[in-house]
Structure 1
Amino acid sequence: MRTDLILLSARLLDPGTGRFLPHTALAAADGRITDLGDDRRIRALAGPATTVIDMKGAVVTPGLVDGHSHPFSGAEGTRGVDLSGCTDLESVRAALAAGIRDLAPGAWLRGWGLDPNAFGDQPVGADAIGPVLDGVPAALHLFDMHSMLASRRALELAGVDGPRDFAQAAEVVCGDDGRPTGLLLEEAAGALVEAAAPAPTPAELRAQTAAVLQGMAAAGMTGAHVMDGEGLEVYAGLEAEGALTQRLRIAPWCRPGDGPGALRRLVGEQSRGGRLWRVAGVKLFMDGTIDNGTAWLEIPDSRGESTRPFWPDPAAYTRAVTELHRAGVPTATHAIGDAAVRHALDSVAEAQAGAGAGPRHRIEHIESIPDDALPRFAELGVTASMQPTHCCEFTRADHTDNWSRRLGEERAGRAWRCRDLWEAGATVVLGSDWPIAPYPPLEVMAGARHRRPADLALPPHGAEQALTPLQALQGMTVNAAAAAGEERVAGRIAVGHRADLTAFAEDPLETADTELAGLPVLLTVLDGRPTHRDPAL
């Protein structure tokens, strides 16, 4: 067998135990690890076409996998002005004004990353931004990508002049006068304006997606669990060119009101894919977000909102989960509020009661969860997919942020219960939900460990929910593999496992929590092929 890749003088870290393997070298062929041993013996396996890399003592782990990401739709959604660093309305207005100066007459202004905390005590609406958007068609994604702020001109061009009815829990927010404020909650409402806005060309989307995927590789990522079904043709095209730098496991959406044939189509799509990407699951939504007031809570938030599920008929969601379960299709359910999490767990229990254990299901986000629901994840074999950087970047320890004010002190004090779920026996997988939060996996792991915002001088939000360094690494390696049912081929450095690898300048388990995000990534290997290589190697 021809050896494709050899790594020498490496420290090979087993995330299952947290200890280094006795070997210093590995060989890979046809995308799999074929041998482990000492440098001298493994070097002898090299042929004329083998890539041989002296790791110079670098620490090599299994490739890091983002447990929840949106590479293609994120590439599309992050066009225009980056508002993610704006902390108040003055900085939002300045950023938008700078973006408008570069626009051609009549062109649309796009933006993303708008934090509702920037509005302070004011309602989120176009009028709060002021005259900077007068006459300009603008569509600005809020940071959670579950809502959009549209300017008056954009609403006019889209023909949105009042409330609308939707098959899902979406809303065109209107003032007392019945006129839209510009805030559009959830996908169906935002789609009204998107339909009127110019779309990027296929070539632009392909280039943007390729750039995002390469950036992910440079950050040490080898794969992602993709929580939407957009961009499949782009992924296929990149793979055909040898330019796909991530192994993608894709879960297309199932929405309320999609029609009776939707589930059959989703089941039929499960065989679609290539070597590095495949459709493997279905994504459903049980609620929206707490910041928008569209989550589903057992007790309403401080504004009397977050009282409804995304599926107007929750029983229809349960039937969908049951049908997919019987077909052997794993589900991933967006459930942020405690009522949504409980209903998702109840639905999996009902499906299993009728058809046996079946596929491995997941619940995404789990921002608020009551004590009695914690052990049910392990009991039902449901993966807990968590995004700790959402807690780090969009909430505060003093509970002055919008998320915490809506929930109140008691519920805000038990946010993102990563440690409690882990100790209750759940398989906890970590992810970014990019573009909601930055995708570098070291930032995700660091957030899980210190639970602080980017300003590390600020105190942690819920320090008791922090994961250990080993748990954080497991959340992006062995646990990600287990959630996908791939523990026999992924998540460990072992003969026969995939040659998906990430190498660091130092041991990530010994690197301080607050320094982990800056740990240099020296090498990323996907399917036995380097996708990122630092000049130091």
Structure 2
Amino acid sequence: MSTDLVLFNARLLDPGTGTLLPHTALAAGAGLITALGDDRDVRALAGPATTVIDLKGAVVTVGFTDGHLHPVSGAERTMGVDLSGCRDLDDVRAALAGAARDLKPGAWLRGWGLDPNTFGDRPVGAAALAPVLDGIPALLDLFDGHSLLASFRALELAGVDGPRQFEQASEIVCDAEGRPTGLLLEDAACAVVEDLAPKPTEAQVRARTAEVLRAMASTGLTGGHAMDANGDSLAILAELDAQDALSLRLRVAPWCQPGADEAAVAELVRLQGRSGRLWQVAGVKMFMDGTVDNGTAWLERPDCHGESTHAFWPDPEQYSWVVRELHRAGVPTATHAIGDAAVRHALDSIEKAQTESALAPGSVGSPSPVRHRIEHIETVPDDTVARFARLGVTASMQPTHCCEYTRADHTDNWSRRLGDERAGRAFRCRDLWDAGVRVVLGSDWPIAPYPPLAVMAGARHRRPADLSLPPHGPEQVLAPLQALQGITVNPVWVAGEEHVGGRLAVGYRADLTVLADNPLTVHDTDLAALPVLLTVVAGRPTHRAPEL
């Protein structure tokens, strides 16, 4: 086997144990680690075509994998004006006014990352932005990815003049007089206006996706669990892979929506295993509820506005049936469940599926090999925490959502809706870990920024990126090694790929992240700024800092 890459003068960090290996050099070929040893012996394996890099004492570890992101749909949604840095309505208005000045007459304005906290005590609605969007059709993604704010002109063009009924838990929010406010909650309501707006071409989305993936690689990401496969996304990934332009290894879980029948489930099963060199379809993504900020989460008690009382599936038992059918087919599920009732029902459904499978004729009674997971888990009581470990369900969590969008003093929109008791059990990363649960970390990009060091830092200090506020739930911080494992070893395990990834060992994937220093010894508040010097996917550098 030829040697494609040699890295020497390195410190090799094992994320399984947190210790440095005795070796100082690594070789890769055909996408795998082929040798570990001292500089002299490993450098001797290099041939004329080998890329040889002196790491000058940098730290090599298993490549970072984002446990939950949306690379293709996110690439498309972030082609508009970025509102994620806006802190109040004046900021939002200024950003939109600047974008509006460059619009051609009749053109639509798109924005993303709008935080409901920028509205302060005012309800989220188009009226607050009307002065800068007068006569302009505009659609603004709220940061949670589950809602849109449509301008009055956009509502007019779409013929939206009052409430409507939907088959799933969606809503065109209206005022007391029945007039739409512009706020659209969940997919079905959003589609009423969004389907009217101009769409970028597949070529434009493909180019933007490649750009996003390159930027992700520059932050040390070698892989991601992509939680959608909508529209042309699989075709886009296949084309990028064919062009050798896929900078991350992606595991894709297509959506299953309410109303799925036997044919729809059979199609999801058929899609499993569809793949290219660096991507594959593996698993199914489902939604048990919406979001706390929108009042569309599913809580065991209503929120402080009397909302968040229903599941996203009108018939939650149909969701349970889908989980059972997928489990029987050996297909893992990843369920968006934010509220305590949603998480409980997802766990109930997985437990029923496991029990029925174990009792089925021919079953040997061994533990289920299907590794199900639940996404987000923003507020749950103690008894629910304990069930994750017993059922072997992975907790996929995004600590930066807590850091950036909630506050320790509970003055943010999320906390005010939940009230102090439920807001006090926010994002229980440490409790789940200590209960023996596999915790996978991710960003949910474009909901929150994707740099993995920032995700790890958030898990370790529970404060916003600018460190301007005290930690929200400091008792839930992860230790440095736990945070590292949450973005290296654990994403590999939940994918069932621990026999090919997650270790710096001969025969394992050469997916590597190289850092200027040891992330386990860098202070929590300095971690996000730690330089990423090199990113390697399947033995090929996808990012290389100038100093190397």
- TM-score in same-fold range (> 0.5): yes
Q: Which amino acid aligns with 1:379?
A: R
In the TM superposition, what whole-angstrom CA distance separates every residue of 1:430-482 from its partner, at most 9, and x where no partner exists? 00000000000000000000000122131000010000110000000111111
Equivalents in 2 of 1:193, 1:68: separation in Å? 27
1:14 match: secondary structure: coil
Q: TM-score, normalised by structure 2?
A: 0.97
Q: Report the equivalent of 1:369.
A: 380
Q: Report the equivalent of 1:232.
A: 234
Q: Report the equivalent of 1:420.
A: 431
Mapped contact 2:371–2:394 kept (Cα < 8 A): yes
Pick from 304, 309, 314 the counterpart of residue 306 of structure 2.
304
1:19 match: secondary structure: coil
Q: Report the equivalent of 1:333.
A: 335
Q: Report the equivalent of 1:280.
A: 282
Q: Which amino acid aligns with 2:257?
A: R
Q: Report the equivalent of 2:42.
A: 42
Q: Does 1:200 align with 2:203?
A: no
Q: Report the equivalent of 2:293.
A: 291
Q: Report the equivalent of 2:520.
A: 509
Equivalents in 2 of 1:448, 1:160: separation in Å? 42
Q: Report the equivalent of 2:33.
A: 33
Alignment of 1:427-506 (within 5 A): 427-506=438-517
Q: Which amino acid aligns with 1:265?
A: E
Q: Report the equivalent of 1:402.
A: 413
Equivalents in 2 of 1:254, 1:471: separation in Å? 31
Equivalents in 1 of 2:531, 2:454: separation in Å? 12
Alignment of 1:58-207 (within 5 A): 58-207=58-207
Q: Which amino acid aligns with 1:483?
A: V
Mapped contact 1:116–1:142 kept (Cα < 8 A): yes
Mapped contact 1:158–1:193 kept (Cα < 8 A): yes
Mapped contact 1:499–1:525 kept (Cα < 8 A): yes
Q: Does 1:11 align with 2:22?
A: no
2:53 match: secondary structure: strand
Q: Which amino acid aligns with 2:338?
A: I
Equivalents in 2 of 1:58, 1:157: separation in Å? 56
In the TM superposition, what whole-angstrom CA distance separates every residue of 1:11-64 from its partner, at most 9, and x where no partner exists? 000001100000011111110111111111111111111111111110000000
2:270 match: secondary structure: helix
Mapped contact 2:305–2:417 kept (Cα < 8 A): yes
Equivalents in 2 of 1:260, 1:471: separation in Å? 40
Mapped contact 2:130–2:151 kept (Cα < 8 A): no
In the TM superposition, what whole-angstrom CA distance separates every residue of 1:472-494 from its partner, at most 9, and x where no partner exists? 00000111111111111111111
2:520 match: secondary structure: coil
Q: List alignment gaps of at least 5 residues for structure 2.
A: 359-367
Q: Which amino acid aligns with 1:400?
A: T
1:149 match: secondary structure: strand
Q: Does 1:359 align with 2:370?
A: yes
Mapped contact 1:326–1:358 kept (Cα < 8 A): no
1:130 match: secondary structure: helix
Equivalents in 2 of 1:160, 1:324: separation in Å? 38
Equivalents in 2 of 1:55, 1:88: separation in Å? 44
Q: Which amino acid aligns with 1:521?
A: V
Range that drifts further, 462-471 or 260-269: 260-269
Deviation at 1:284, TM superposition (A): 0.3
2:246 match: secondary structure: coil
Deviation at 1:133, TM superposition (A): 1.2
Equivalents in 1 of 2:536, 2:167: separation in Å? 44
In the TM superposition, what whole-angstrom CA distance separates every residue of 1:250-296 from its partner, at most 9, and x where no partner exists? 00000002444111110000021112100000000000000000000
In the TM superposition, what whole-angstrom CA distance separates every residue of 1:374-397 from its partner, at most 9, and x where no partner exists? 121111110000000000000011
Q: Which amino acid aligns with 2:344?
A: R
Aligned residue-pair number? 537
Q: Report the equivalent of 1:381.
A: 392
Q: Which amino acid aligns with 2:139?
A: A
In the TM superposition, what whole-angstrom CA distance separates every residue of 1:178-230 from its partner, at most 9, and x where no partner exists? 22110000111111111110000112101110000000000000000010013
Q: Which amino acid aligns with 2:28?
A: A
Equivalents in 2 of 1:257, 1:139: separation in Å? 27
Mapped contact 1:75–1:208 kept (Cα < 8 A): yes
2:471 match: secondary structure: coil
Mapped contact 2:454–2:465 kept (Cα < 8 A): no
Deviation at 1:115, TM superposition (A): 0.6
Q: Percent identity?
A: 72
2:323 match: secondary structure: helix
Mapped contact 1:352–1:358 kept (Cα < 8 A): no
Deviation at 1:358, TM superposition (A): 3.9
Q: Which amino acid aligns with 2:377?
A: I
In the TM superposition, what whole-angstrom CA distance separates every residue of 1:96-146 from its partner, at most 9, and x where no partner exists? 111100100100000011111111111111012232111100000000010
C-alpha distance 153-224 of structure 1, shift in aligned 2 (>3 A): same
Range that drifts further, 208-217 or 172-181: 172-181
1:373 match: secondary structure: helix
Mapped contact 1:325–1:358 kept (Cα < 8 A): no
Q: Which amino acid aligns with 1:326?
A: R
1:499 match: secondary structure: coil
Equivalents in 1 of 2:279, 2:80: separation in Å? 28
Range that drifts further, 128-137 or 11-20: 128-137
2:498 match: secondary structure: coil
Mapped contact 2:15–2:488 kept (Cα < 8 A): yes
Q: Which amino acid aligns with 1:2?
A: S
1:261 match: secondary structure: helix
Aligned-residue Cα RMSD (Å) equals 0.8
Q: Report the equivalent of 1:322.
A: 324
Q: Which amino acid aligns with 2:294?
A: N
Equivalents in 1 of 2:138, 2:236: separation in Å? 27
Equivalents in 2 of 1:259, 1:319: separation in Å? 10
Equivalents in 2 of 1:226, 1:202: separation in Å? 18
Equivalents in 2 of 1:23, 1:455: separation in Å? 37
Q: Which amino acid aligns with 2:343?
A: V
In the TM superposition, what whole-angstrom CA distance separates every residue of 1:356-382 from its partner, at most 9, and x where no partner exists? 314100000000011001121111110
Equivalents in 1 of 2:426, 2:450: separation in Å? 21
Q: Which amino acid aligns with 2:38?
A: D
Q: Which amino acid aligns with 1:277?
A: W
Q: TM-score, normalised by structure 1?
A: 0.99
Equivalents in 2 of 1:114, 1:98: separation in Å? 16
Q: Which amino acid aligns with 2:431?
A: D
Q: Report the equivalent of 2:249.
A: 247
Equivalents in 2 of 1:177, 1:509: separation in Å? 57
Q: Report the equivalent of 1:393.
A: 404
Q: Which amino acid aligns with 1:59?
A: V
1:92 match: secondary structure: helix
